[in-house]
Amino acid sequence: MPEGHTVHRLARDHTKAFAGQKLIVDSPQGRFADEASLLTGRKMTNVLAHGKHLFYEWSPGRGARAGANLVHVHLGLYGKFRLHKNPAPEPRGAVRVRMIGTEKTFDLNGPTRCEILSKADYQKLLDRLGQDPLKQDADPEVVWNRISKSRAAIGTLLLNQSVIAGLGNIYRAEILFLLGIHPEQPGASLSREQFDQLWQLSVDLLAIGVRYNRIITVDLSQAGKPASRLKRDERLLVYKKTRCTECNAKIRKWELGARTMYACEKCQK
């Protein structure tokens, strides 16, 4: 499942490519046909991201279109965008929605969610989500209050989107490794200093992910090559590794929070 950096990068790129334009909206697959008819010919005004959720804002409509001002997309495990230059090729696979702008078109296949939300439903969704490290108005105090009172393992808490929105399985493994924190350490046992480091590292690494459109946790000043030329194995420190990149100890691999965890129990006491 795409992590928060991917979704924020999509929001940035789609805003640049489509915001301010009147779009033709279609549903080649047919499952978004009614919603597409309410949107086609209207102006997309902005694209927002919160955690792993995308929101497309539209200019006010009239009549039946009046409440169709916000489209919510959650990619889930199988969702995928394809961006084309116009004229776009024939739809490939089961395209849930196609949006055609003046110069570019995007297709969306296989999302978990693709729906029109009312303002009230939009707010309810945001209220269920945790703070997003990539948003300027994020409040780490809210996250600290949740983590500092929880007996759950920090490795589980970091996957809980109602605690921190946008972190996924790769980032949790890499962040905990960089901080030397064992994934099974209870959230309530973290010191304030540890939490502050965890939050800032989340902010920094997600921002790097947006910039390069990929997860990079190695120190780029020591990578020996440009970020764009790093292979996946070279970009990460512990995720899917068999040996620790610091001490060469065997990496432990186990299930935590319904996902596979990777950690060096020599470096992460």
Give catalytic status of residue 87 as yes or no: no
**Is the CB of residue 166 less than 8 Å from the CB of residue 185?**
no
Every domain of the chain and the residues it spans: 4-128, 140-263
Confidence at residue 66, expressed as pLDDT on a 0 to 100 scale: 80
pLDDT of amino acid 67? 82
User: Which residue among the candidates 9, 42, 52, 235 is catalytic per the annotation?
Assistant: 52
pLDDT at 223: 84
Q: Active-site residue 214, yes or no?
A: no
In this structure, CATH architecture of domain 4-128 = Alpha-Beta Barrel (3.20)
Q: How far is it, in rounded angstroms, from Cα 98 to Cα 82?
A: 10
Q: Which of 79, 76, 78, 65 is nearest to 116 (CA)?
A: 65
Beta carbons of 81 and 47 less than 8 angstroms apart = no
Answer yes or no: same fold for 4-128 and 140-263.
no
Q: What is the pLDDT of residue 222?
A: 86
Fold for 140-263, please state it. Answer: Helicase, Ruva Protein; domain 3 (1.10.8)
- For residue 232, give both structure tokens: 């996946």
User: Is 111 marked active-site?
Assistant: no
Question: What is the pLDDT at residue 70?
Answer: 96
- Known catalytic residue at 149: no
pLDDT at 263: 98
| pTM exceeds 0.75 | yes
- Residue 118 main-chain phi, psi, to 5 deg: -75, 165
Out of 43, 259, 265, 266, the active site residue is 259
Question: Are 202 and 164 in contact, with CB atoms under 8 Å apart?
Answer: yes
Q: Tens place of pLDDT for every residue, the chain, 269 residues?
A: 899 999 999 999 999 999 999 999 999 999 999 999 999 999 999 999 999 999 999 999 887 788 889 999 999 999 999 999 999 999 999 999 999 999 999 999 999 999 999 999 999 999 999 999 999 999 999 999 999 999 999 999 999 999 999 999 999 999 999 999 999 999 999 999 999 999 999 999 999 999 999 999 999 888 888 888 899 889 999 999 999 999 999 999 999 999 999 999 999 99
